[in-house]
Amino acid sequence: MSFRKDADEGYAEEGHIDEIHADEGNASEKRFGEECSSADESVSFEVDFRAEILDDEVPYKDFTMMSRIAERFTDDVIPLLWSESMLAELLPWPSEQANKYSRGKLVLIAGSDRYPGAACLATRAAQRMGAGYVEVFTTPMARPFILSSCPSAVVRLVSEFDVASFSQVQPGKPRAIAIGPGFDPDDESGEQLLAHVLKKAACPVLVDGGALAAFCSKRVRKAQAKRYERGHFTVVTPHGGEARRLAEWYGVPTMEGPVKFGADLGCAMGAVVVLKGPDTYICSDNDVVFSMCEGTAALAKAGTGDVLAGMIASLLAQGLDPKHGAYLGATLHARAGVLAAQRFTDIGVLPEDVIDFIPEAVARMAL
């Protein structure tokens, strides 16, 4: 299999795959090269690994799934791909006694006067992914757009946000904060806001999009380091170009393959890194890497990253472990993209279509 596309909208990959389905009980081998770039920077990965079956079971009937452990030839980090049954067990089904607070509250700090659509996409995705209460803080010009597209969300002005209410954990009321989708990179207030959130919030925090640029600030990096020391979880969701910039600020070499690179970046940041691409790697600070290998060209459009951020943040708000929430969110995001493409083709899929197919992706995983 070989394919190529612009990395700022996705990835580029060329290679050869020789795979055998999991229910045949055999291993598979894969060689690939991956290139991710932004408008002015690029990062390239190339790695060999051998895959072995982790769990014998019938593959997901609409997807060529394998459960395997991939053994890197040149790195000590072992990427893991979960079985279908393990994924299904992560789905956060609500109890019969659930209420909107016990199902999780997500605060989404997103959008700007220039990019209101990103906040709309992240909000809708978070709601579809199951959070019981989604509250959005945004700019005055973006607020009416979000209210129009997501009338069941609570939408306030960012000037009203008070992180102090998130400084304590409330038993039975899981919460999370997501910050960055649709941020204006020219607005310096994002740096101050992110530093304040990282310093004060005791709940999981997901950092995406324009907020990732704030890690260039020593103040933000110091706040993240203190947050890690306190045992609070942070998830960052960079594509290749964003990951390269993070690596430069944290002094992480970029010449390694994606598995080792992601693990090193996670260790340096004290965060769970969701390194996005056709194969998405979820890398934690303890060198554990999960590999999600179901991405398709249907997702190579502006806005799908905002959808993914909303999905993962919603799962964090429902109390999932950050690594588990990131893996489950990335998998459902990829599968919703596949389902949308079956109806609209890889050419015609929109980020909004991916959101609409989240419930079907969940239902099929639960079978």
C-alpha closest to that of 112 among 193, 171, 42, 38: 193
Task: Extract long-range pairs of 328-333: CB within 8 Å, 24+ residues apart.
Answer: 328/87, 328/90, 328/91, 329/129, 330/274, 330/280, 330/282, 330/292, 331/87, 331/292, 331/294, 331/365, 332/129, 332/358, 332/361, 332/362, 332/365, 333/299, 333/304, 333/307, 333/308
pLDDT tens per residue across all 367 residues of the chain? 232 333 333 333 333 333 323 333 333 333 223 333 333 443 433 333 333 334 433 333 333 333 323 333 335 566 788 889 999 999 999 999 999 999 999 999 999 999 999 999 999 999 999 999 999 999 999 999 999 999 999 999 999 999 888 888 888 999 999 999 999 988 889 999 999 999 999 999 999 999 999 999 999 999 999 999 999 999 999 999 999 999 999 999 988 788 889 999 999 999 999 999 889 999 987 778 999 999 999 999 999 999 999 999 999 999 999 999 999 999 999 999 999 999 999 999 999 999 999 999 999 999 9
Q: What is the CATH number of domain 95-235+302-366?
A: 3.40.1190.20
The full set of domain ranges for the chain reads 2-87, 95-235+302-366
Residue with tokens 């649709």: 182
Measure the CA–CA gap between 164 and 8, rounded to whole angstroms: 35
The CA distance from 74 to 270, in Å, is 24
Query: Left, alpha or beta for 182 (phi > 0: left; psi -120 to 50: alpha)?
Result: left
List Cβ neighbours of 169 (8 Å cut-off, separation of 6 or more).
202, 203
pTM as predicted: 0.82
CB 166 within 8 A of CB 107: yes
